[in-house]
Amino acid sequence: MAKQFKRIETKLIHAGDLEPRVYGAVETPIFQSSTFEAGDESSYHDLKYIRLNNTPNHVSVGRTIAALENAEAGLVTASGMAAISTTLFTLLSAGDHILAQSSLYGGTHDLLAHDFAKFGLTYDFIDADDPASWRAKLRPTTKAIYCEAMTNPLLEVADLASIVRFAREQRLTSIIDNTFASPVNFTPLDAGFDLVLHSASKYLNGHSDIVAGTIAGRSEMVERIRHKLNHLGGSMDPHAAFLLSRGLKTLALRMRYQNESTLQIAKFLAGHRAVARVNYAGLESHPRHARARELFKGFGGVLSFEVQGSVDTAVKFMKSTTIPMLGPSLGGVQTLLTRPAASSHAGMSAEERAKVGISDTLIRLSVGIEATEDLIEDFAQALTAAR
Ligand code: PLP
């Protein structure tokens, strides 16, 4: 009987196991072989070759992803952007249109804004919190709707249930980037989404040592995306697949710790007089706290906040911390601080940033797995030093 694993902690450890085990090895070894002896494959896509995304490492970690997302099928890619671009280029053909949440991750935003036109694709950005405004943006050629579980860097939580309903009514494929929540906190396919994508470079791997992406959904859709990936070539390397498998084993432990630690840090910052504002869906003061509680099991490991004072105060605070590193990205075991106005959102003007609520003093924090008390003490001394 095929093994079935009910809970995420068990799935993370066992759902990707190859059967039979390779020489009894309890872990899936790295199959560092680009090609494999041919069997009786009838299709090009079934020949075993790293770019065709079907070597034992791809199969194993793909199964883990499918199990975590409660999906029929899972696929891994060379990066989060490979997962996103390959999915969109599979679902959309020249002449098609997509609705997308307006505050997307910068790479996804730029793919739509700068690359789509060359392929004859069109898009409209929508306010994902205002369902009444979506119908007016529909076109006969609209094929899909795309959103993120939580936005970066303001941690907004869109009306995800309405997105699912709208997609079903209008026969659109609903796609969600679940990177910020992780499957520990949210399984979007259970909420009715058609496809869930991740930058596995973040929480899924968790150690800031690879870039990787994942896709999960119905078998027929995932298989179509795999064939496109086979042509576009954004395939995961076997060593990265091994590191992703290894990182995944501790995802539930890391994520729950990060949920808890981030909530405590958010409360500390929100109660500090040198802090003007904290954005974290776990705080009761968050405008969508009730919605986030309904959707998510935890609120994740990223928050953003504004210190009282000028940009100099914010920079001085960041430089006065001793534990976090100052750098972009998120979801790793190490705490990272970044100022979006000088990093991820530097491409926008100060006015554009202000319009979407990103002030120049806003700091984004990705909480690692260091001791919560150590981080809080460090932030306390840095807030004092910055004044
Ligand atoms: N989606 C989100 C929400 C991200 O934050 C990122 C990267 O920061 C990506 C996608 C892109 O992932 P990758 O860097 O693995 O290509």
**Residue 134: its pLDDT value, please?**
98
Active-site residue, 51 included: yes
Q: For the chain, how many helices (H) and strands (E)? A: 13, 12
Strand pairing partners for 326? 337
Give the separation between CA 334 and CA 324, rounded to whole angstroms.
7
372 within ligand 1 shell (Cβ under 6 A)? no
Active-site residue, 3 included: no
Q: What is the DSSP string of 65-104?
A: HHHHTT-SEEEEESSHHHHHHHHHHHH--TT-EEEEETT-
Neighbouring CB atoms inside 10 A of 6's CB total 7
Q: 6 C-alpha to center of ligand 1: Å?
A: 29
**SS3 of the chain: helix, strand, coil, percent, to 5:** 40, 15, 45
- Report pTM: 0.97
Q: 199 C-alpha to center of ligand 1: Å?
A: 5
116 within ligand 1 shell (Cβ under 6 A)? no
The secondary structure of residue 52, as a DSSP letter, is G
Q: 80 C-alpha to center of ligand 1: Å?
A: 5
**Residue 1: its pLDDT value, please?**
59
Burial class (CB in 10 A: 0-12, 13-18, 19+), 154: middle
Cα 269 from chain centroid? 25
Marked catalytic residue, from 143, 202, 254, 339: 202
b/e per residue 25-52 (b: at least 16 CB within 10 A): eeebebbeeeeeeeeeeeeeeebbbbbb
196 within ligand 1 shell (Cβ under 6 A)? no
Active-site residue, 267 included: no
Marked catalytic residue, from 11, 48, 96, 105: 105
Strand pairing partners for 125? 100
Active-site residue, 291 included: no
Neighbouring CB atoms inside 10 A of 207's CB total 16
Q: Which is the closest atom of ligand 1 to the Cα of 202? A: 15
Per-residue pLDDT of the chain (387 residues; tens, 9 = 90+): 567 899 999 999 999 999 999 999 999 999 999 999 999 999 999 999 999 999 999 999 999 999 999 999 999 999 999 999 999 999 999 999 999 999 999 999 999 999 999 999 999 999 999 999 999 999 999 999 999 999 999 999 999 999 999 999 999 999 999 999 999 999 999 999 999 999 999 999 999 999 999 999 999 999 999 999 999 999 999 999 999 999 999 999 999 999 999 999 999 999 999 999 999 999 999 999 999 999 999 999 999 999 999 999 999 999 999 999 999 999 999 999 999 999 888 877 888 888 888 999 999 999 999 999 999 999 999 999 999
Two tokens, residue 343: 């990093």
Give the separation between CA 29 and CA 33, rounded to whole angstroms.
12
Q: How many residues does the chain have?
A: 387
**Residue 2: its pLDDT value, please?**
65
Mutate to test the pocket of ligand 1, among 198, 202, 330 (most ligand atoms within 8 A of CB): 202
Give the separation between CA 255 and CA 182, rounded to whole angstroms.
8
Judge whether 57 and 28 are in contact, CB under 8 Å: yes
